[in-house]
Amino acid sequence: MSSFVIYGIRKFRERQKAKVEQAIPHQSQSYGSSYELVEPNRTAPLNADVATARQTRNQSPETAKGAKENTRIVQDAKKRRNLRYKVLFGLALPFALQSLDTTIMASALPFIAADFNQLQQLNWIISVFNLTSAAFLPFWAQIADVFGRHVTIHTVIIILTIGSAICTGSPTSSFGLLLFGRALQGVGAAGVNVTGHIIMADRVSLEDFAWNWTLSALISAVFFGIGPVVGGYLTQVSWRWCFAINLPIAVAAILFIVILLRKELVGSQPIPEIENLETLPGYRRILARLSTIDYGGQLLFLGGLALLILGLTWAGGSYPWASVQVICPLVIGAVLTITWIVYEYLMSPPRIMSRLFPVQKAMLSWELLLHRDIKLLFFINFTVGMGMFAVMYFMDLYFTLVLGLSSSEAGKYLLYYLPGLAVGAYMAQYSVNTWPRQTFPPLFLGSITSAIGITVLAWATHVGNTSVILGMMALTGHGVGMRMNPGALHGLAYFPTLTAQITCLVSLAIPLGGTVALTIMSTVFNNKSGVDSREAKTGIMYAFISLIPFMWICVAVATFLGNAWILEDRGHEIVHGSYFWSYITGTQLQREKRSRGRHHSLEEDSTQGGYSQHTQTVGT
């Protein structure tokens, strides 16, 4: 590992030195021989200004052109840096809101369920949030394109705030009202998640996007990690503060976005199918834009996903697996999901649904759904959510039920997850932006470390080795952090013009995986544990064992991924086929090079999205 780091630092320094040398315009021989170079410590002659003027006048056209190009490069870098800072500070609070709402319940969950006298249904407080935060991701992705990023990000923050207010004021006699507020929080969190990441991908190259996503991942990781701690301390006063804390943060988030990002955000996307759209009156223009949403696909997706999660949540805990209450939602949900896939296929041109609804845009591109790497990425990010939610929620149960710690003390132990997450996110950024500037290594390595972490964690909870438990929490966090950024980057390398859809798919997989993981683990825990702490320890061990097959299948799946190279000219290359197995067998794969890997909103040639492509056969 040390040799890997030293080699990477050496390569980074060599690359930076080469960049500086290339940026300096080469001087002609006549220019160098006519004027003597002045050393920094030597006093300049009195006629230096005259010499400088003569020097500028006598520059060759090539030298002048090089100087202009150098100035343009410096100005472009400054603009990109300023945009990055604006996006970072503008979206920091929205991402903090989303991360807090995801994990702040970890410490407060048993106390909320006890106050509402709903201990058997406590997983619904988490499941309903995860359900809506996953199901509404495609909807907000379409809204961000139809009405623009500015309107969308404000709308979702307001919805999240309303949900938080409802949860804060819910009487203990109305458990349903609390769940409704949590559902609204999930709807808003879904919008913050997908819209925020779309904003980060707008108007930047893949290299800049990697930086943006890494910085946002670090912000999310911090609040994700401190969420249980904050929830533990707030619960000592009242669990209602776990929801009320969102209200001032949301107001500040809206102000930051207005001040920093109002002029930077991409507006509503053009709709060529509707003539003279911008000349229509206000309400007709809104209706025209609403007509482009894929309502059929959205409803089928929402219904199918909701019923599947409902059946999984009820199974084993509330009702037996063989009961009608479990079988019916699972079967109907599966049918609706298959129907959604067929519907999206028919929505792709020139098939029948696309002819019946020529203005509507498919919720997800059929080409995207068919692509092998996208399907593999979805499963990889699915297991990212599994590892993330499993550690946060079930290790909190371990610390409170088995070790008998208070909610605040249990939250402190969960902080051991955070360093691993931060180190993983940094290593992923280093891998894609510095060395080796590829997306495959962090995805593969992160899959391995998460699988090892979950596997050993199951054993450590059984034997009660706290030191190993804390170490494996950090290792699992490392695997999660390693895969959060490169997944989206890998997908955008293959589909650079489908920013919203790629971001949506990657963002959808994580909460969906978390929901399925909590459902499976809760079922196993309820069947294996009791009120005794020893039985609770056994239930938690088997709950983690139930995730081990998913984690190691993810490692096998990752070996079939392709690869993307982030080039120093802000372009990128992609390779089709299995990069890992081609490397092992020494075979050659065909790469597709894209000379300008920039988002289409910055390109002069908007018809082609600014991408020029050619293929070449090269060694892996």
Contacts of 442 (CB under 8 A, 6+ apart): 427, 428, 431, 432, 482, 483, 485, 486
pLDDT band at residue 31 under the 50/70/90 scheme: very low
Domain co-membership, 258 together with 145? yes
pLDDT above 80: residue 272: no
Would 421 be classed as within a structural domain? yes
Q: Which domain holds residue 311?
A: 294-360
Would 395 be classed as within a structural domain? yes
pLDDT above 80: residue 532: no
Q: Mind listing the pLDDT tens digit for each residue in 381-411? A: 999 999 998 998 899 889 988 998 887 788 7
Residue 438: DSSP 8-state: B
**How many CA atoms, within 13 angstroms, populate the side-chain half-sphere of residue 278?**
6
Total domains in the fold of the chain? 2
Query: Which of 604 and 315 is assigned the larger pLDDT?
Result: 315
Domain co-membership, 303 together with 370? no
**Token reading at 574:** 């992609």
Contacts of 184 (CB under 8 A, 6+ apart): 132, 159, 160, 162, 163, 166
Domain co-membership, 430 together with 307? no
Q: What is the pLDDT of residue 33?
A: 33
What's the CATH number where 372 sits? 1.20.1250.20
211 contacts 83 by C-beta, under 8 angstroms: no
Q: How far apart are CA 439 and CA 431, in angstroms?
A: 7
Would 68 be classed as within a structural domain? no
Q: Mind listing the pLDDT tens digit for each residue in 150-166? A: 999 999 999 999 999 99
Would 30 be classed as within a structural domain? no
pLDDT above 70: residue 30: no
Would 89 be classed as within a structural domain? yes
443 residue type, one letter: L
Q: Mind listing the pLDDT tens digit for each residue in 309-329? A: 788 777 776 788 889 998 999
Q: What is the pLDDT of residue 397?
A: 87
Q: Which residue has the tokens 């108007």?
A: 203
pLDDT above 70: residue 44: no
Q: Which residue has the tokens 């701690």?
A: 229
Residue 107: exposure state from Cβ atoms within 10 A (0-12, 13-18, ≥19)? buried
Domain co-membership, 437 together with 321? no
pTM (2 decimals)?
Answer: 0.79
Residues β-bridged to residue 573: 565, 593
170 contacts 181 by C-beta, under 8 angstroms: yes
Would 54 be classed as within a structural domain? no
Task: Give the chain's mean pLDDT.
Answer: 82
453 contacts 476 by C-beta, under 8 angstroms: yes
Q: What is the pLDDT of residue 436?
A: 93
Domain co-membership, 121 together with 218? yes
Domain co-membership, 166 together with 305? no
Q: Mind listing the pLDDT tens digit for each residue in 81-117? A: 888 889 989 999 999 998 888 888 877 887 898 899 8
449 contacts 173 by C-beta, under 8 angstroms: no
**571 φ, ψ (degrees, to nearest 5):** -100, -170
